[in-house]
A and B are shown apart, each in its own frame.
Chain A
Amino acid sequence: MSTATLSAPDSGAVPRIDYLFLGAALAATGILVVLVLLDGQPASAALILGGFGLGVAFLKAEFSYTASWRRFLTRGEAGGLIGGLIVIAICALAVVPVAALNKNFGGAIAPLGPSLIIGAFVFGIGMQLANGCGSGTLYTVGGGSGRMLVTLAFFIVGSVFGSLSLPSTLALGGVDPVLASDYLGPWGGLLATLLSIALAAGVMIAMARKRGANWRPSRSYIIGGTVIGVLCIGVFFAGGHPWSVTYGYTIWGAKIFAALGFDFSNAGFWQWPGNKQALTSSVLSDTSSLTDFGMIFGAMAAAAATNRYAANAWPPLKSLLAAAIGGLLCGWGARIGFGCNIGAFIGGVASGSLHGWIWFLAALPGCMIGIRLRPAFGLSRD
C-alpha cells in the first residue's frame, strides 16, 4: 500500500490531534467491546483490542505487503518481504506447536489445487490495482484514505461473488491440506516451518543481491514486524485460529445482499455449516469481523492522534476505477484462494501448511501483471 494515500504528517511537523475522529474511533471500539462483554465473551473483546493494536502497528510502521511485493518485483528490494517473514516466523513459534498439541486450537489449512492457485493469482493482480491487500485495505481505510473506502466496498462485493464461485472451483479437483506437524510432530513441524522461512529469506536476499538492491528491512519494518507478530500470537490465542481478514468481508457482504433480498439458500458455500450459521448470527460472533473492526478503528485512532483526519482530496477517477476493479479481484481471489496475505500466506505458512507457500508463489505472477496494468490507471509501477 502506498502511504501516499494516507494523510501522514510531514517529517518534523507538529502533531495535530483530530479530536473528532480520535473520539469516534475510541467510542466505536468501546461500544463494540462493551457489547461483547455484555454477552460474556472476553475472548471477543480481546480480538477487537488485538485488531485495534494491529491497526495502530500497521499504520505507524507503514507496514505494507502490497508495496513490499511491488518493490521486490520492480527493483529487487527484499527488505519489505523479509519484514513480512519476521511476522510469520514469530507467529509460527506459537501456532505450529499449540495447534498440534491442543485440540482447542487449529492452524490455517486449505486444500491444494486449482482453486488455491487461481484465487491467489487473481488476488495478486487485484492487490496491485487496489493498492492494498486484506490488511492493507483495513488499515488504510482506517487511516483516512477515501480511495481505499472504494477498494473496501468492492472487495466486499467481490468476496460475495467468490463465495458463489468457490464450490465450482473446488470441483476442479485438489488434494487435502499438507501440514508439517502431521508428518513431523509439533516440534519437527515447527523446525521445518522455520527452515522454510529461512530458505525463502535466503532466496529473496540472493535475488536482491544479484540485482544490486537493498535486502535489509527498515527499522520500522523490523520493529513493526515484531509487534505485529506478537499481536498475531495474541489473536491466535484469543480466537483459536491464526488471524484472518477477508472472511469478515464475505460475511458483511452476504448480510447486506441478504438484507436487500438476495436468497443464498441455493448457494453451496452458504450451506456449509459454519457459513450458514455465520449468515444468521451476530456479526460480532465472527472472529475475523471482530479483528477487522478493531483494526479499522485502531488505525483511525492512530491517524487522528497525529494529524487532521481524512484531509486529502479524492483521487482522480482513473485511480478510483483501479480501486474498484482491484477490490473486486481481491475479493473474488481471496475467497477462491482461501484468504489473502494474512489468512492464506501468513496464517498458512505460520501453521506449517504447504498451501501458504503455494499461495505466495501463485500470487507473485499475478502481482507482476497487476504492476504492468497500474500505469493504465495513472498509478506508478514503483
Chain B
Amino acid sequence: MRKTYMAVVLLALVAIVGNHLTSPSSGRAVSPEDFAGACAPCGAPCPSKK
C-alpha cells in the first residue's frame, strides 16, 4: 500500500501544480457563493429568482 500511496501523492501533486501553471488564476481564492445570484455554496440560484 505504501507504493500505491507514494504514487498517488506524486501523481496528485504533479496534477495540482500542472493545473495551476497552465490555468488562469482568479486572483483571490473564491467560492461559487461569491458570485452574484448564488444562493448556496455551490452557486445554485435562489428558488425565488426562477
Residues on the B chain within 8 Å of A293, using CB = 16
B16: chain A residues at CB < 8 Å are 32, 283-284, 293
A residues within 8 A CB of B32? Answer: 247, 272-275, 278
Closest Cβ of chain A: how far from B48's Cβ, in Å?
5
CB distance from B14 to the nearest CB of A (A): 11
- On chain A, the residues within 8 Å of B17 by CB distance are 31, 35
- Check if B46 sits within 8 Å of A176, measured CB to CB: yes
Instruction: Kindly report which residue of chain A lies nearest to residue B9, judged by CB atoms.
Output: A24
Q: Does A108 sit within 8 A of B, measured CB to CB?
A: yes
Within 8 Å by CB of B19, from A47, A108, A244, A255, lies A255
When distances are taken between beta carbons in the complex, the residues of chain A under 8 Å from B45 are 170, 272
Report the minimum CB–CB distance from A110 to chain B (whole Å).
4
| Contact (Cβ within 8 A) A109 B39 | yes
Q: Is A195 an interface residue (CB 8 A)?
A: no
List chain B residues, Cβ under 8 A from A255: 19
A277 at interface, CB cutoff 8 A: yes
Does A309 make an interface contact (CB < 8 A)? yes
- CB within 8 Å for A111 and B38 given contacts A272-B44, A287-B31: no
Contact pattern, B 1-37, Cβ under 8 Å of A = 1, otherwise 0:
1101110110001001101100111111111111111
Q: Is B5's CB under 8 angstroms from A309's CB? A: yes
CB of B31 within 8 A of CB of A274, answer yes
Tell me the chain A residues, 160-194 only, with Cβ under 8 Å from chain B.
163, 166, 170, 173-177
Q: Is the CB of B42 within 8 A of A290?
A: no
Contact B26–A272 (Cβ < 8 Å) = no
A343 and B39 alpha carbons, distance in the complex (Å): 14
| Chain A residues, CB < 8 A from B43 | 272-275
Which chain A residue shows the least CB distance to B3? A310
- Asked if A286 contacts B9 (CB within 8 A), the reply is no
Chain A contributes a number of interface residues (CB within 8 A of B) equal to: 67
Known A273-B37, A274-B30: A335·B42 in contact at CB below 8 Å = yes
- B38 to A272, Cβ gap below 8 A? yes
| Chain A minimum-CB-distance residue to B38 | A274
Q: B44 is contacted by which of A36, A282, A338 (Cβ under 8 Å)?
A: A338
Tell yes or no: A149 within 8 A of B by CB: yes
Q: Are A28 and B37 in contact (CB under 8 A)?
A: no
Query: How many A-B residue contacts, CB cutoff 8 Å?
Result: 171
Q: Find chain A residues with CB under 8 A from B35 CB.
A: 272-274, 277
Scan residues 13-40 of chain A and give those whose CB is less than 8 A from a CB of chain B: 20-21, 24, 28, 31-32, 35-36, 39
- The answer for the CA separation of A146 and B1 in the assembled complex, in Å, is 7
CA distance A36 to B2 in the complex (A): 29
- Known contacts A144-B5, A149-B4, A310-B2; decide if A41 and B27 are in contact (CB<8 Å): yes
Closest-by-CB residue of B relative to A28 is B13
Contact B41 A339 (CB under 8 A): yes
Shortest Cβ gap from A30 to chain B (Å): 11
Q: How far is the CB of A330 from chain B (nearest CB, A)?
A: 15
B46 and chain A: residue at smallest CB distance: A176
**Does A111 lie within 8 Å of B39, measured CB to CB?**
yes
In the complex, what residues of A have CB within 8 A of residue B48's CB?
175-176
A110 touches B41 (CB 8 A): yes
Contacting pair A240 B34 (CB below 8 A): yes
Residue A217 at the chain B interface, CB threshold 8 Å:
no
Selected A-B contacts with CB under 8 Å, 11 pairs? A35-B17, A149-B8, A247-B41, A272-B37, A272-B44, A275-B42, A280-B24, A281-B24, A284-B25, A285-B25, A286-B29
A contact residues vs B (CB 8 Å cutoff)? 20-21, 24, 28, 31-32, 35-36, 39, 41, 43-44, 47, 106, 108-111, 113, 144, 146, 149, 163, 166, 170, 173-177, 239-241, 244, 247, 250, 255, 269, 272-275, 277-278, 280-288, 290, 293, 300, 309-314, 335, 338-339, 343, 347
8 new A-B contacts, CB < 8 A, other than A24-B6, A149-B8, A287-B31, are A39-B27, A110-B41, A247-B42, A275-B32, A285-B29, A310-B5, A312-B1, A338-B40
